[in-house]
Copies of this chain bind each other. A is one copy, B any other.
Amino acid sequence: MIIDVHGHYTTAPKALEAWRNRQIAGIEDPVSRPRVADLKISDDEIRETIETNQLKQMKARGSDLTIFSPRASFMAHHIGDFQVSSTWAAICNELCFRVSQLFPDHFIPAAMLPQSPGVAPETCIPELEKCVAQYGAVAINLNPDPSGGHWTAPPLTDRSWYPIYERMVAHDIPAMIHVSTSCNACFHTTGAHYINADTTAFMQLIQGDLFKDFATLRFVIPHGGGAAPYHWGRYRGLAQELKKPLLRDHLLGNVFFDTCVYHQPGIDLLTTVVPAENILFASEMIGAVRGVDPETGHNYDDTKRYIEASARLTPAQRRQIYEGNARRVYPRLDVALKKRGK
């Protein structure tokens, strides 16, 4: 079985974006603010957007199940206040839940949170609880920078995040650390802000001692861990300067990297420096990079090809990366699969 831990509903029916645009317009002009009930998306519309996109590609590439969350760049936590984010998160999470109900063998939800700049993370707990209890969410996406590229929130090791971590531990769900769109002109969203956030989060975790307080807390750092594996020597050296344990002991019991690295040499590096038990298969398809690589003739984000071609991985390690690690890092996924006899 091949589990992709990183997929977003980037192909949702256009009505979703239209509703969001009305919601944004309504921030300044409350009269025009839409009601949740104004958004009408049928099951058939959802089916069509999935069958002709993600599911089609999954079948073509040979992956079975995707952990599916709302479109990351559309979370846009910087827009409006907590109430705006809260309504928007509820809508987006429900849509992903509906995808998982329509295609139970192929999608299982992860929840976005109704984060908002300057608002305490604990305000997100009701949405988190609902998504776990009612939608069967097996993970959350946690945005370390709800400001959208201004980085006004405290580091992930700050105690203001702890209420979220307490609920994660209680439910035994991991968080993928994932920012949203950048509203800072310096940072291209998917080319700079996403990758920088991954690198930033990893370094914050090196600096802190978060896993002393939460021994079973687990984070997935997407996009292959940002710059971290490429600069693994730098990070080992910085941990040493900061008098921290070796990275393996300090972080690798709790921190995992996905395989959203869109070329063979990158995957080869990742699998060279990061132990196989810390690597989770993912593609972020359909996402930031949708084209065909002229050097290979295949989609850049067809990451399974790179895992298959890696000369370094044993068949057992490939199975870990494709399935075993995901079942271990997302125990609620494992439970859900076992219930279905998988």
Residues of B within 8 A of A207 (CB): 188, 191
Alpha-carbon distance between A295 and B235 when the two chains are bound, in angstroms:
13
Interface size class of A (residues with CB under 8 A): 35 or more
Q: Does A335 contact B (CB under 8 A)?
A: no
- Counting chain B CB atoms within 10 Å of each CB, the highest count among A153, A187, A227 belongs to A227
Residues of B within 8 A of A240 (CB): 291
Q: Does B196 contact A237, Cβ atoms closer than 8 Å?
A: no
Q: Does B262 contact A233, Cβ atoms closer than 8 Å?
A: yes
Q: Does A151 contact B (CB under 8 A)?
A: yes
Alpha-carbon distance between A290 and B233 when the two chains are bound, in angstroms:
11
Closest to A232 in B: B263
Residues of B within 8 A of A185 (CB): 154-155
Alpha-carbon distance between A223 and B185 when the two chains are bound, in angstroms:
23
Task: Tell me which residues from 294 to 329 in chain A have a Cβ below 8 Å from any Cβ of chain B.
Answer: 294-295, 300-301
**Contact digits for A237-269, partner B, Cβ 8 Å, 1 yes 0 no:** 110110000100000000000000111011011
Q: Does B195 contact A236, Cβ atoms closer than 8 Å?
A: no
Stretch of A5-13, A72-80, A112-120, A197-205 with 4 or more beta carbons under 8 angstroms from chain B = A197-205
Q: Does A336 contact B (CB under 8 A)?
A: no
Q: Does A70 contact B (CB under 8 A)?
A: no
Closest to A273 in B: B265
Residues of B within 8 A of A236 (CB): 263, 293, 295, 300
Known: A237-B300, A291-B237. A231 touches B186 (CB 8 A): no
**Contact digits for A140-180, partner B, Cβ 8 Å, 1 yes 0 no:** 00001100011101110000000000000000000000000
Q: Does A59 contact B (CB under 8 A)?
A: no
Alpha-carbon distance between A269 and B151 when the two chains are bound, in angstroms:
30
Known: A227-B226, A230-B266. A186 touches B153 (CB 8 A): yes
Q: Does B204 contact A186, Cβ atoms closer than 8 Å?
A: yes
Chain B nearest CB from A297 CB (Å) reads 13
Q: Apart from A186-B200, A187-B203, what 9 extra A-B contacts exist at CB < 8 Å?
A: A155-B186, A191-B234, A195-B231, A223-B234, A231-B266, A234-B261, A234-B262, A237-B289, A237-B293
> Which residues of A pack against B, CB within 8 Å?
144-145, 149-151, 153-155, 184-188, 190-192, 195-196, 199-200, 203-204, 206-207, 223-224, 226-227, 229-238, 240-241, 246, 261-263, 265-266, 268-269, 272-273, 288-291, 293-295, 300-301
* Residue contacts A-B, CB under 8 angstroms, 27 given: A145-B186, A149-B151, A151-B187, A153-B186, A155-B186, A186-B204, A190-B238, A191-B203, A191-B207, A192-B203, A195-B234, A223-B234, A227-B227, A227-B230, A231-B261, A231-B263, A231-B266, A232-B265, A234-B261, A236-B263, A236-B293, A237-B290, A237-B301, A241-B289, A241-B290, A246-B294, A265-B272
